[in-house]
C-alpha cells in the first residue's frame, strides 16, 4: 500500500498501466489521478503576440497525445489504493491563452524588458502599412486587445487544423481556453490571499505599488527546477535584476503585480493601476477551472459553474490538478513560481500530481532561428502544401523527452506514413462486414497483438515510436483488411489523431500532379525537370537514374496525359 502521508509516492511499475516521468520528482511513476474516472489536465498555452511556431506546437501536441491516450480504452491507470482502473475515462483539458503580462525578458523574475504587445503593435503596423495583412483582416495595431484577439484566433485555427482537441472543444466551451485578460479579478483575489497568508508583500507608494511573492516563506521553492534559494541569492543565470533588489526581501522574490507605465494593458487593484505577473495568471486559471478552490472568486463565474457542474466532488477534494504540462522552457521560472504561489494560497501539499515537460525542437539539426532560415510556424508549412496530418505526425513521432529534430525529409516520410494508414483504412472500410466471416476471423490474433503492444508502448511513458511500429507491423501482416481492422484503426487514430484531419486533394505544379501523401518541394521539382530534359535528349539511362533517385526518396512516379508526371508515395 502506498504511504498516505507521502504526497509524491513511488511504487513498482505494473506492466500495462500508465507510468509517466514526473519532472518534480525526476522519476518514472505510476499515473494515479485523484479520480480514475475523471482526469484534470492543465497546459500552459501560447502568448498571443505572434504566430505559434512548430516548437510551440510540439509541446502542445505531446500534451494532446497524452490526453487522448488517457481517455482511451487502451489506457489503464492506478487509483490511490494501487488498484488498476481501465479506460475509457473523461479528461477535462484546459489550456490558457496568455494575452497580458508578458515582457520580452520573461525569464527574469522581475518581469523585465518591453511589453510584448508593444512589439506586436510595431509588427502589425508595418504589415498594415505595407499591405501584408491577410485579406479581410482589419486590426487596429494600437489596440492591444485587438492584437491579442487577432493572434489568438490564428493560433486556435492552426491548433484545430492540427487536431488539438482542447482547441476544438473550446469552440463550444470557452472555459476550456481561458484568456488571462478575462481573469484579472481572480488574480487580484489570489494575490490578496497570498498577502493575508504571509506569502506576499507590497512595496512602494500607496496607489503605485508592486507586489512580490516572498520565496523564503515557501521552503520547497526550487524543488522543480533545482534553482534553490542559495543558487539564486546572487542572481544566478541572470534571472534577477539588480535594479529591483533594494525593494525586495530576497533576490529571488518574484513579481505578482506591477505598476509600470511602459505596460499598455492596465487594471485597477488595491495596489494601484497595473498588471499581473505572468506566473499568477496560470495559478488563477488552473485552480479556478479545474478545482473547487475559491470557486466564487477566481475570475470568470462560468468557470466555477462548469467545474462544479461536471464534478460535484471538486469542492470537497484537495485543491490540486492531476497533470500540468508545458515546454521545458517553462520549468523556471514559470512553473517553479506557479507551484509556490498555488500551494501558498491553498495550503495543499501539491499543486499538480504530475509535471509533464516535452523537450525542445531542433530543425535540420540546429536551433530554430529566423536568421538561419529554419524557423517555421505551422501556417508556414501549410502554405508550402504540407498537410496538417503529416505535420502533426512529424511533431509527435519522437519521444517527448528527447530533443526532436524536425526535417523536411521526416515531414515527407510522415506524409507517406499517413497516406499508407489512410489506404489501409479505406480498404478495410470498403471490405466492411462482408469480410467478417473470412479475413476478419483470421485477423483476430493480429489485432489482439497490435492492440496489446500499442497500449503497452504508450503506457511506457508515451513510447510513441514503439506504438507506431506496432501499428505498422500489424498493417504489414494484414493482406486483406476487413471491417474489424477498420474499427481498430479508428480506435488507434483516436489516440494518434491524424486520420480524421482533412485530407488534401492532389496538388499541381507546372510539371507534376502530387497525390495525397506527397508535398511539392524544390528538390522534387528539380529532379522532375532534369528527368524531362533527359527524356527529351533521349538519355534514358539518366532518366531512369532520376526515377531511381526519387524511389530512394520514397516516391513513385508515372507519366500522365498532358506531359505531367504523377508523384505518389511508394
The 10s digit of each residue's pLDDT in 454-468 is 999 999 999 999 999
Q: Which of 109, 330, 125 is nearest to 236 (CA)?
A: 109
Q: How far apart are CA 299 and CA 301, in angstroms?
A: 6
Q: How far apart are CA 306 and CA 319, in angstroms?
A: 16
Q: Which of 74, 92, 73 is nearest to 33 (CA)?
A: 92
* pLDDT of amino acid 242: 55
Average pLDDT value for the chain: 87
CA 54 to chain centre: 10
- Measured CA distances, 283 to 99, 227, 475 (Å): 15, 20, 45
Q: Which of 337, 352, 145, 350 is nearest to 256 (CA)?
A: 337
Task: Label residues 360-398 b or e (16+ Cβ within 10 Å = b).
Answer: ebbbeeeebeeeeebebbbbebbeeebbbbbbbbbbbbb
CA 232 to chain centre: 29
Task: Give the percent of the chain with pLDDT over 90.
Answer: 65
Q: Which residues pair with 211 in a beta bridge?
A: 202, 257
* pLDDT of amino acid 55: 95
Measured CA angle at 167 (ends 163, 171), to 5 deg? 120
Q: Is 42 exposed, middle or buried (0-12, 13-18, 19+ CB in 10 A)?
A: buried
C-alpha cell at 391: 505535420
Task: Please provide residue 76's backbone torsions phi and psi, each rounded to the nearest 5 degrees.
Answer: -110, 130
* pLDDT of amino acid 239: 42
Residue 245 host element (H or E)? none
Measured CA angle at 237 (ends 233, 238), to 5 deg? 85
Task: Please provide residue 88's backbone torsions phi and psi, each rounded to the nearest 5 degrees.
Answer: -80, 170
Q: How far apart are CA 557 and CA 514, in angstroms?
A: 10
* pLDDT of amino acid 314: 56
Q: What is the DSSP letter of 344?
A: H
C-alpha cell at 386: 504540407
Rg of the chain on CA atoms, in Å: 26
Q: Is 13 exposed, middle or buried (0-12, 13-18, 19+ CB in 10 A)?
A: middle
How many other C-beta atoms lie within 10 A of the C-beta of residue 258? 23
Q: Which of 380, 414, 377 is nearest to 394 (CA)?
A: 414
Note the pTM of the prediction, 2 decimals.
0.86
Return averaged pLDDT per consecutive 10 residues of the chain, 570 residues in all. Answer: 55 76 96 96 94 96 98 96 95 93 56 68 76 77 86 96 98 94 94 98 94 97 92 50 74 90 84 92 94 73 58 67 96 96 96 97 89 88 90 97 94 92 93 61 89 97 98 96 95 98 82 82 91 93 94 89 85
Please check whether residue 43 is in contact with residue 326, taking contact to mean a CB–CB distance below 8 angstroms: yes
Torsion sign over Cα 189, 221, 70, 9: negative
* pLDDT of amino acid 240: 45
Amino acid at each position: 500500500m502506498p504511504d498516505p502521508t507521502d504526497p509524491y509516492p513511488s511504487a513498482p511499475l505494473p506492466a500495462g498501466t500508465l507510468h509517466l516521468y514526473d519532472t518534480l520528482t525526476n522519476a518514472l511513476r505510476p499515473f494515479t489521478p485523484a479520480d480514475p474516472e475523471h482526469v484534470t489536465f492543465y497546459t500552459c498555452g501560447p502568448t498571443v503576440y505572434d504566430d505559434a511556431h512548430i516548437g510551440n506546437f510540439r509541446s502542445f501536441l505531446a500534451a494532446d497525445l497524452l490526453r487522448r491516450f488517457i481517455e482511451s480504452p487502451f489506457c489503464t491507470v492506478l487509483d490511490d489504493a494501487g488498484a488498476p482502473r481501465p479506460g475509457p475515462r473523461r479528461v477535462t483539458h484546459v489550456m490558457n491563452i496568455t494575452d497580458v503580462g508578458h515582457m520580452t525578458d520573461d525569464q527574469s523574475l522581475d518581469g523585465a524588458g518591453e511589453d510584448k504587445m508593444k512589439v506586436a503593435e510595431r509588427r502589425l503596423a508595418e504589415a498594415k502599412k505595407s499591405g501584408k495583412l491577410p485579406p479581410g483582416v482589419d486590426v487596429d495595431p494600437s489596440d492591444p486587445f485587438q492584437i491579442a484577439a487577432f493572434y489568438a484566433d490564428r493560433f486556435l485555427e492552426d491548433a484545430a487544423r492540427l487536431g488539438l482537441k482542447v482547441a476544438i472543444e473550446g469552440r463550444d466551451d470557452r472555459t476550456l481556453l481561458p484568456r488571462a485578460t478575462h481573469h484579472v479579478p481572480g488574480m487580484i483575489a489570489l494575490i490578496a490571499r497570498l498577502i493575508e497568508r504571509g506569502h506576499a508583500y507590497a512595496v512602494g507608494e500607496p496607489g503605485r505599488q508592486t507586489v512580490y511573492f516572498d520565496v523564503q516563506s515557501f521552503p520547497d521553492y526550487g524543488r522543480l527546477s533545482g534553482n534553490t534559494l542559495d543558487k539564486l541569492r546572487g542572481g544566478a543565470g541572470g534571472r534577477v535584476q539588480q535594479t529591483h533588489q533594494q525593494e525586495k526581501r530576497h533576490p529571488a522574490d518574484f513579481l505578482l503585480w506591477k505598476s509600470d507605465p511602459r505596460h499598455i494593458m492596465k487594471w485597477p487593484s488595491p495596489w494601484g493601476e497595473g498588471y499581473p505577473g505572468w506566473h499568477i495568471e496560470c495559478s488563477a486559471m488552473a485552480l479556478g477551472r479545474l478545482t473547487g478552490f475559491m470557486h466564487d472568486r477566481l475570475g470568470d463565474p462560468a468557470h466555477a459553474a462548469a467545474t462544479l457542474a461536471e464534478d460535484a466532488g471538486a469542492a470537497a477534494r484537495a485543491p490540486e490538478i492531476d497533470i500540468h504540462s508545458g515546454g521545458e522552457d517553462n520549468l523556471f521560472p514559470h512553473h517553479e513560481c506557479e507551484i509556490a504561489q498555488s500551494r501558498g494560497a491553498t495550503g495543499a501539499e501539491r499543486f499538480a500530481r504530475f509535471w509533464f515537460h516535452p523537450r525542445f525542437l531542433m530543425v535540420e539539426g540546429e536551433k530554430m532561428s529566423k536568421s538561419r532560415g529554419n524557423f517555421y510556424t505551422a501556417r508556414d508549412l501549410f502554405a508550402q502544401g504540407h498537410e496538417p496530418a503529416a505535420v502533426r505526425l512529424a511533431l509527435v513521432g519522437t519521444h517527448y523527452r528527447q530533443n526532436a529534430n524536425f526535417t523536411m525529409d521526416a515531414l515527407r516520410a510522415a506524409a507517406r506514413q499517413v497516406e499508407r494508414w489512410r489506404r489501409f483504412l479505406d480498404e478495410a472500410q470498403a471490405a466492411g462486414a462482408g469480410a467478417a466471416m473470412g479475413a476478419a476471423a483470421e485477423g483476430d490474433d493480429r489485432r489482439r497483438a497490435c492492440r496489446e503492444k500499442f497500449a503497452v508502448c504508450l503506457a511506457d511513458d508515451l513510447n510513441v515510436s514503439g506504438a507506431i511500429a506496432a501499428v505498422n507491423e500489424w498493417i504489414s501482416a494484414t493482406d486483406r483488411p476487413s471491417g474489424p481492422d477498420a474499427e481498430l484503426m479508428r480506435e488507434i487514430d483516436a489516440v494518434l489523431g491524424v486520420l480524421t484531419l482533412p485530407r488534401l486533394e492532389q496538388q499541381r505544379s507546372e510539371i507534376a500532379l502530387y497525390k495525397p501523401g506527397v508535398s511539392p518541394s524544390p528538390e522534387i521539382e528539380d529532379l522532375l525537370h532534369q528527368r524531362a530534359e533527359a527524356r527529351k535528349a533521349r538519355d534514358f539511362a539518366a532518366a531512369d537514374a532520376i526515377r531511381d533517385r526519387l524511389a530512394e526518396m520514397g516516391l513513385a512516379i508515372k507519366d500522365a496525359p498532358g506531359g505531367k508526371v504523377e508523384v505518389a508515395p511508394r
